[in-house]
Chains A and B, each alone.
Chain A
Amino acid sequence: MQFVSFLVNGISLGSIYAIIALGYTMVYGIARMLNFAHGDVIMIGSYLVFVLMGSLGMPPFVAVLGAMVGCTLLGITIERIAYKPLREAPSLAVLITAIGVSYLLQNVALLIWGSNPKSFTSVVKMDPIRLFDGQLVITGETLATIIISVIIMIALTLFVNRTKMGRAMLAVSEDKGAAQLMGINVNRTISLTFAIGSALAAIAGVLLCSTYPTLQPTTGAMPGIKAFVAAVFGGIGSIPGAMLGGVLLGVIESLSKAYISSQMADAIVFGVLVIVLLVKPKGILGKAVKEKV
């Protein structure tokens, strides 16, 4: 029964990684860049909820909605100011800019909220579920995380495959030039992708801090890197890949902590990534990129 409990926790943690990884993978697919500031958008989202709920006393639902709006605007602004002027620049320049934005966000948070960790009040008001005569306890946070993640994944899959805007995103990710010939506004599509990714980051931040309730300016860094690993693990650019990669990563981490060593868990997670990439360089669900002739 303990195993099931570790597994459920792993799925829950993995779902958060998956939501963050979706932001990475969508932005990579559309704009061909690794947005290393993505993890810090999560942190900003969490602080926004902390302020809206804690200091301004808003109800949790409204606070989360406010954080989503805030992060969406932040994501679009970052793209407009920092990345858009570099659209034609070498990818290394964009990568370094993204790292710069990451440090900028962390330091802005440091200026505003200080370095002392804040204790985050969970937004989930659900009682734990006790199964098998109390042998298996699933907290409200864990359950809510899994449910919300499943809803997000289904909604995003439907959006991308069934709507005109989603289809345009797929077209841009495959061939920007051909997409423009179809009349698709590539810049607007990129903005939309950042908007969606950042709104998801806000949700991920709230779920993360509800489960692990310490909030500080570096809160987003590690989950950001793990989610990046998850996106690569599943095949960067692939939406189902990010979902699968995230959940697998969470489960591996949780089980490693439980059965092998809690200090070694991160090393094991990254070790598995190395092995997967050696065997399948494009990730689990990644497609081999055809070289243009």
Chain B
Amino acid sequence: MAKMLSVKDLNVSYGAINAIRGISFDVEEGEIVTLIGANGAGKTTTLHAISRLLKPKSGTIEFCGTPISNMDAYKIINLGLTQVPEGRRVFSNLTVQQNLELGAYTRKDGADAIAADYEKVFERLPRLKERRKQLAGTLSGGEQQMLAIGRSIMCTPKMILMDEPSMGLSPLLVQEIFDIIKDLNKSGTTILLVEQNAKKALEIANRAYVLETGLISMSGNASELANNPKVQAAYLGA
């Protein structure tokens, strides 16, 4: 399998604080890879560095062979890499439909193809269809998460970075969101998933990396890590 995302010796700092201290990892095409770790371990920082919302201090990031660590943030989506950010960050003063339209902002393959994809999103996420004309800010947390995911797939990405998609959701909705992620992956989208809900994340992932205060402390097959006593003690509450 081909390497889709490859991160080497990534360092990210906020002023004098080194949030990420030389991590390396990669994601292969078709995989779900999860990055687990405690609050403040640097999970979101890593994703922001990949999306260039943050400027890495050093290190290289390649997506499908293209170096992206010096690219402007808004250009990265053109390579087929997008992010569902932490806290959903839907445009709350715009309607569900308008949010999806912004998801397709960079597409140049014509209104018909885009319209067909709205229908696909609504098929996958039927709740959004009922709320099509509603302002995104009035949706429930779960619906906003679905909208954030729907918005991200409107750009027909090869890979999605997902930041805490289960945060603040009821157990039933968490299951629903994880089912959607699995489903997206089955239809060919590669996923890098950042989660505090390590149990759920390890269930659906192929491989996992454990991030601890800016360093990768463990990595391996998701099922093996789920059975690792250290991981169980620290992240699975066993």
A181 touching B91, Cβ below 8 Å:
no
A177 touching B85, Cβ below 8 Å:
yes
What residues of chain A have their CB less than 8 Å away from a CB belonging to chain B? 164, 167-168, 170-171, 174-175, 177-186, 287, 290, 292-293
Report the minimal beta-carbon distance from B83 to chain A, rounded to whole angstroms: 5
B74: chain A residues at CB < 8 Å are 179-180, 182-186
User: Which of B52, B89, B155 contacts A178, CB < 8 Å?
Assistant: B89
Provide the B136-164 mask, 1 if CB < 8 A to any CB of A, else 0.
00000000000000010001000000000
**Bound complex: CA of A168 vs CA of B106, how far in Å?**
11
Taking CB atoms and an 8 Å cut-off, the chain B residues in 86-117 that contact chain A are 87, 89-94, 98, 101-103, 105-106
A185: chain B residues at CB < 8 Å are 72, 74
Q: Which residue of A lies closest to B94 (CB)?
A: A170
Q: 4 closest A-B pairs (Cβ-Cβ)?
A: A183-B106, A183-B77, A180-B73, A178-B89
B102 touching A171, Cβ below 8 Å:
yes
B87 touching A182, Cβ below 8 Å:
no
Report the minimal beta-carbon distance from A36 to chain B, rounded to whole angstroms: 26
B101 touching A167, Cβ below 8 Å:
yes
Report the minimal beta-carbon distance from B84 to chain A, rounded to whole angstroms: 9
B218: chain A residues at CB < 8 Å are none
| Given A174-B91, A175-B91, A183-B105 contact (CB < 8 Å) | yes
Cβ of B46 within 8 Å of any chain A Cβ, yes or no, is no
A178 touching B105, Cβ below 8 Å:
no
| Given A181-B51, A182-B103, A170-B91 contact (CB < 8 Å) | yes
**Bound complex: CA of A177 vs CA of B77, how far in Å?**
13
| Given A181-B83, A185-B74, A292-B87, A174-B93 contact (CB < 8 Å) | yes
**Bound complex: CA of A30 vs CA of B56, how far in Å?**
26
22 A-B interface contacts by CB (under 8 A):
A167-B94, A168-B105, A171-B94, A174-B92, A175-B89, A177-B53, A177-B85, A178-B85, A178-B90, A180-B52, A181-B73, A181-B77, A181-B82, A182-B77, A182-B105, A182-B155, A183-B75, A183-B78, A184-B74, A184-B105, A287-B93, A293-B87
A174: chain B residues at CB < 8 Å are 91-94
Interface centre among A164, A170, A183, A186 (most CB of B within 10 A): A183
Q: Which residue of B lies closest to A293 (CB)?
A: B87
Taking CB atoms and an 8 Å cut-off, the chain B residues in 54-80 that contact chain A are 72-75, 77-78
Q: Which residue of A lies closest to B81 (CB)?
A: A181
**Bound complex: CA of A186 vs CA of B52, how far in Å?**
13
| Given A177-B85, A181-B83, A186-B74, A171-B91 contact (CB < 8 Å) | yes
Given contacts A180-B74, A181-B53, A184-B74, 6 further A-B contacts (CB under 8 A): A167-B98, A174-B93, A175-B91, A182-B77, A182-B105, A184-B102
B155: chain A residues at CB < 8 Å are 182-183
